[in-house]
Amino acid sequence: MSQTTPPPDANKLPAHVAIIMDGNGRWALKRGLPRLAGHRAGTENLRRVIRACVEFGIQYLTIYAFSTENWGRPREEVNGLLRILEDVIDKELKELSDQGVRLRHIGRLDQLPSHLQQKVLDAVELTKGNSRLTLNVAFNYGGRDEIIQAVQHMMRDGVQPDDVSPETFSRYLYTVGIPDPDLIIRTSGELRISNFLIWQAAYSEWYVTPTYWPDFDKDEFHKALETFANRDRRYGKINSSDYEKNHA
Ligand code: FPP
């Protein structure tokens, strides 16, 4: 971001930004590098974007780091992504915590190696008092899986059909207590939801850029926030001023 670029308008900032960090593989391929080098470059970029979130005053950031479908990738890549999660916790947690970042995990923890499950739980516990930015790491996360887990949990709790409302249901999701994302960013130009926050995204604004995730810098992030600030969110309704114009 150049020195002259003003910070985004604080009154029009999204409270919750969610990101599908796509394009790491193609970024690496373009450079003749292995796919994991793309994920490592993507992790470097994540640090920059987290810092920008803290600086701009974003309250919640959710990142799609590993989907329930990603187990189907080659073993080397899967292991590399598990390793990245471990490395981030081992090497970055202190800096994150010093910035006031609270770490949360969304997804199925029980399918991760047990030592990694413990690291995630410890990191969540260690940072639970931080309040500047809540970073939700979606790892082994799938929107359909989340909904099925929620339904099973509700049934086990004996919730009666007439008591099921959007509010009740939301309390059974991994994202309990987290507001729905206001803005979802997807890098690398793909136009699909990919099983990400499929319940929570009902009224999210989307920003899609052709830029690959490792290159999605602070300037681009700023541009996404500016675009969001100019969106007219109607939640399926109409603006009263438009109504008055039509009926004058
Ligand atoms: C999608 O790009 C990206 C992923 C499946 C992994 C994203 C992970 C990171 C950026 C690392 C940060 C992770 C943690 C745990 C903090 P792709 O590989 O599908 O790219 P392609 O479509 O170009 O092949």
SS (HEC) of 60-119: EEEEEEEECCHHHCCHHHHHHHHHHHHHHHHHHHHHHHHCCEEEEEECCHHHCCHHHHHH
- pLDDT of 6 reads 73
- pLDDT of 242 reads 65
List the residue whose alpha carbon is closest to atom 11 of ligand 1: 43
- Is the shortest distance between the CB of 107 and ligand 1 below 6 Å? no
Expressed in angstroms and rounded, the spacing between residue 164 Cα and the centre of ligand 1 is 35
What is the residue type of 65?
A: A
- Is the shortest distance between the CB of 58 and ligand 1 below 6 Å? no
List the residue whose alpha carbon is closest to atom 12 of ligand 1: 43
Domains in the chain, CATH or no CATH each: 11-246 (3.40.1180.10)
The DSSP result for the chain, as a single string, is: --TTPPPP-GGG--SEEEEE---HHHHHHHTT--HHHHHHHHHHHHHHHHHHHHHHT--EEEEEEEETTGGGS-HHHHHHHHHHHHHIIIIIHHHHHHTTEEEEEES-GGGS-HHHHHHHHHHHHHTTT--SEEEEEEEEE-HHHHHHHHHHHHHHTT--GGG--HHHHHTTSTTTTSPPPSEEEEETT----TTSSTTGGGG-EEEEESS-GGG--HHHHHHHHHHHHT----TTS--HHHHHHHT-
Expressed in angstroms and rounded, the spacing between residue 44 Cα and the centre of ligand 1 is 12
- pLDDT of 239 reads 75
Which positions ≥6 away from 24 have C-beta within 8 Å?
35, 38, 39, 41, 42, 212, 213, 214
Expressed in angstroms and rounded, the spacing between residue 62 Cα and the centre of ligand 1 is 14
Exactly one of 11, 22, 157, 239 is catalytic; name it: 22
70 is catalytic: yes
Q: Mean pLDDT in each 10-residue stretch from start to end of the chain (248 residues)?
A: 71 97 98 98 98 97 98 98 98 98 98 98 98 98 98 98 97 98 98 98 98 97 97 83 64
Expressed in angstroms and rounded, the spacing between residue 39 Cα and the centre of ligand 1 is 5
List the residue whose alpha carbon is closest to atom 6 of ligand 1: 65
Find how far residue 179's CA is from the centre of its chain.
12
- pLDDT of 240 reads 64
What is the residue type of 77?
A: E
* Residue 105 β-bridge partners: 137
182 is catalytic: no
- Is the shortest distance between the CB of 196 and ligand 1 below 6 Å? no
- pLDDT of 19 reads 99
- pLDDT of 3 reads 55
- Is the shortest distance between the CB of 43 and ligand 1 below 6 Å? yes
Expressed in angstroms and rounded, the spacing between residue 42 Cα and the centre of ligand 1 is 7
